[in-house]
Amino acid sequence: MARVAGRTLYRELAHRMGHQVRIGSFGIEKLPSQRDLCEIYGVSLPTVQKALGVLRKEGLISTRSRSGNYITPNAVAEQSERMGIRCVTVCFRRGMEDAAAGYWTSQSEYLLGYNRAAYASKIPLRIQSLPMGAEAHLALLAKDFSPEEQGFVLVNWEYQPTMAWLSEIGAAYVLQTYVRPRRPERMPPHHGCWVDKADATARAVDFLAELGHRRIGYVGRGYTEMPDGWLFEQAPYEGFVEGMRRNGFRVIPEITYQNEGSPATSLPPAVRALMAVPQLPTAIVCSDDWEAMHCIRLARGRGVAVPRELSVIGLDDQPGAAVCDPPLTTMAIPHARHAEDAFRLLLDAAEGRCQEFQTRVHKCTLVVRKSTAPPRESSDCPEGPAP
């Protein structure tokens, strides 16, 4: 925890915690346990205990024997008394604006959502592209506002030191991700807003099953994406397996491929491998639209007609999905609404309208185009529960 000149560590911690109590970051009833506070702020138990003593002297908390530390009535400021957010920074990792990252194709829709929310709230908006690491911390802050007056939307910024640092300086933040974080226990408690891609691919299987498909393949990101990270796209594959299971279909290893996060605009090896199998599936679920469009292109190279002989469904609804040949059926991510909701959740958190940490989940919408159709003939694929 960063120490402010002239303050001992426990008094600096008491200052940060007192601010978060007043703005309602801990809710209105009870503080986290002392052990949890040690984890949140990265300090020792004696430091936390001394800081809690300061808060008790200030009348912000009271201690109940064997029950914990409770926030005293009226400790959380009334709405009109809170300083509130005067500037919001949307921060994403440097490189996401590159064409190879794929983010650029939907960036305008995300910016529309952020700007719409900023305009409605009359709060200035900043966009920052920074390298992930401690050196980015000071660049995050706007110079014209105090930390307590600033809020941050961290786009796929699953970097625990940054999250802990923002908590320490009293700045509100929301983690906005494109998939459910897999290891949230490694992060400080936080507000989150993410897209349920597992539900999307499961419903993609449902749609193909309704068309009559049984031999359904998959290509996309999986366990190998970032095995040591907190955030990686296992979710689409999990959804595919769930969709196959609930429809009574067997997952066939020969037509199920997981890639390792190749750049979106290049040809992932897993797509090439799937499209090279001797017997193609009658339908393919892809974890993003680029993979789906690659499948269509490679199918054409094999003389396989889409959708007459092969149905293909993507995920995201990138701009190219509607104009490829044939136009791509996909599960559309609500980009603008996802961004706007993350911004509004940030304001709710900063202004004390959340009594506890909130998680908001966005569902994808099926967009049916011409890359899917009933199978030309019934499949002899055996049915049964997914492994």
Which pLDDT tens digit goes with each residue over 330-342?
999 999 999 999 9
Higher pLDDT, 28 or 334: 334
Separation of alpha carbons 205 and 197, rounded Å = 13
Q: HSE of 224 in the Cβ direction (CA atoms, 13 Å)?
A: 10
> What six digits make up the tokens of 238?
């999990």
Average pLDDT, the chain: 83
Separation of alpha carbons 385 and 236, rounded Å = 18
193 backbone dihedrals φ, ψ, rounded to 5°: -145, 115
Separation of alpha carbons 131 and 125, rounded Å = 20
> Does position 103 have pLDDT exceeding 80, yes or no?
no
| Mean predicted confidence (pLDDT) in 125-152 | 82
- Taken as a whole, the chain contains a residue count of 387
- pLDDT band of residue 52 (cuts 50, 70, 90) is very high
> Does position 158 have pLDDT exceeding 70, yes or no?
yes
| Mean predicted confidence (pLDDT) in 346-356 | 83
> What six digits make up the tokens of 385?
């529960």
> Does position 382 have pLDDT exceeding 80, yes or no?
no
Which residues pair with residue 261 across a beta bridge? none
Three-state DSSP state, 92: strand
Separation of alpha carbons 262 and 225, rounded Å = 9
Three-state DSSP state, 338: helix
Per-range mean pLDDT, top range of 4-13, 28-37, 267-276, 329-338: 329-338
pLDDT at residue 264, rounded to an integer:
54
pLDDT at residue 206, rounded to an integer:
98
pLDDT at residue 385, rounded to an integer:
42
> Does position 100 have pLDDT exceeding 60, yes or no?
no
> What six digits make up the tokens of 119?
């305009």
Q: Are 144 and 87 in contact (CB under 8 A)?
A: yes
Considering the chain, what percentage of its residues have pLDDT values greater than 70? 83
pLDDT at residue 153, rounded to an integer:
95
Distances (CA, A) of 13 to 16, 37, 353: 5, 10, 24
- pLDDT band of residue 384 (cuts 50, 70, 90) is very low
> Does position 252 have pLDDT exceeding 70, yes or no?
yes
Structural domains of the chain, ranges and CATH numbers in brackets: 9-71 (1.10.10.10), 80-194+335-359 (3.40.50.2300), 197-333 (3.40.50.2300)
